[in-house]
């Protein structure tokens, strides 16, 4: 498990945005992962996807690392942001835009506004 935790830490520190998910950003394997990856993809955010289904130690390790029981998990500039419900809420409220702006993460403001319009 130590190797998995080291790999997780290295991935989070060497990528601005990381999504630990079931499946990949091109082919999510659960609805919650699909929702978060879909938001990030639609907003044009460049992110590293980590398929936790490919490695049982990483799957458990990320839960231990963040002290968060569910997947997906989003990290921005090394900071744990949350899972599907939190990311959905932050997207709809505009908080995710604020976080990306504060952290210098590129995204499409127009796409974020379209998500809010479609769900408003």
Each residue's pLDDT tens digit, 65-108: 999 999 999 999 999 999 999 999 999 999 999 999 999 999 99
The architecture of the domain spanning 2-118 is 3-Layer(aba) Sandwich (3.40)
CA dist., res. 40 & res. 96, Å (int): 10
pTM, rounded to two decimals: 0.96
Report helix, strand or coil for 50: strand
Phi, psi of 25 (to 5 degrees): -65, -25
Is a pLDDT exceeding 90 seen at residue 53? Answer: yes
State how far the Cα of 76 lies from the Cα of 98, in Å rounded to an integer: 12
């Amino acid at each position: 498990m130590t190797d998995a935790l080291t790999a997780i830490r290295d991935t989070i520190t060497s990528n601005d945005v990381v999504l630990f998910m079931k499946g990949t950003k091109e082919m999510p394997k659960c609805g919650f992962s699909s929702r978060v990856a879909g938001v990030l993809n639609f907003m044009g955010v460049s992110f590293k996807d980590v398929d936790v289904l490919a490695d049982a130690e990483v799957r458990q390790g990320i839960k231990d690392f963040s002290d968060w029981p569910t997947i997906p998990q989003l990290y921005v500039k090394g900071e744990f942001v949350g899972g599907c419900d939190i990311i959905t809420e932050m997207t709809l409220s505009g908080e995710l835009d604020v976080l990306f702006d504060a952290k210098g993460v590129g995204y499409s403001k127009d796409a974020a506004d379209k998500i809010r319009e479609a769900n408003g």
